[in-house]
Amino acid sequence: METQRQKKISGVIQGDIVDILQRAAIEGGLKGTLISVSKVSVTTDLSIAKVYISIFPNKDAKELMEGIKSNQPLIKHELSQRTKNQLRRVPELLFFLDDSLDYIENIEKSLKGEDNPIENRDLLDKRKKI
């Protein structure tokens, strides 16, 4: 269960990281790429923040995540500048790609019958005979 303090810090971090990443994307020549922070969860001791990032279009997601992870110290520094009046210590930032939108899209396709395993047996994993 998240405490009120954890929720507040998550909200502050989420808002500022969105600004930092959006500006970096525009300055880096990635106009048309939408980067959003879908969730931030902070540990109870406030030392680690897990940042879940959604990237659209998805084709650039993997290489963009590598860039974000490699620039983690710069992002943390920028975040500390923005939050110096709100946070004494900025937590360690761990970035994860949030692929829940893809997951939802796959479920919707299945429900609409586009990827129906009953009609197309190749979609199912082959069972091994014992």
pLDDT single digits (tens) 106-117: 777 777 766 555
Q: How many alpha carbons fall within 13 Å on the CB side of residue 71? A: 16
pLDDT single digits (tens) 39-78: 999 999 999 999 999 888 777 788 888 888 999 999 999 9
**What are the residues whose beta carbons fall under 8 Å from the beta carbon of 34, sequence distance 6 or more?**
54, 55, 56
Q: Are 117 and 123 in contact (CB under 8 A)?
A: yes
Across the chain, mean pLDDT equals: 83
Distance CA 61, CA 99 (A): 10
- Residue 129: pLDDT over 70: no
Chain centroid to CA 117: 30
Q: Which two tokens stand for residue 118?
A: 């009953």
Distance CA 24, CA 70 (A): 13
Q: Give me the residues paired with residue 49 across strands.
A: 42, 93
Q: What percent of the chain has pLDDT over 70?
A: 85
- Report, as an integer, the average pLDDT of 20-30: 84
What are the distances in angstroms from CA 39 to CA 85, 93, 116? Answer: 22, 13, 32
Question: Which CATH number applies to 4-123?
Answer: 3.30.300.20
- Report, as an integer, the average pLDDT of 6-24: 92
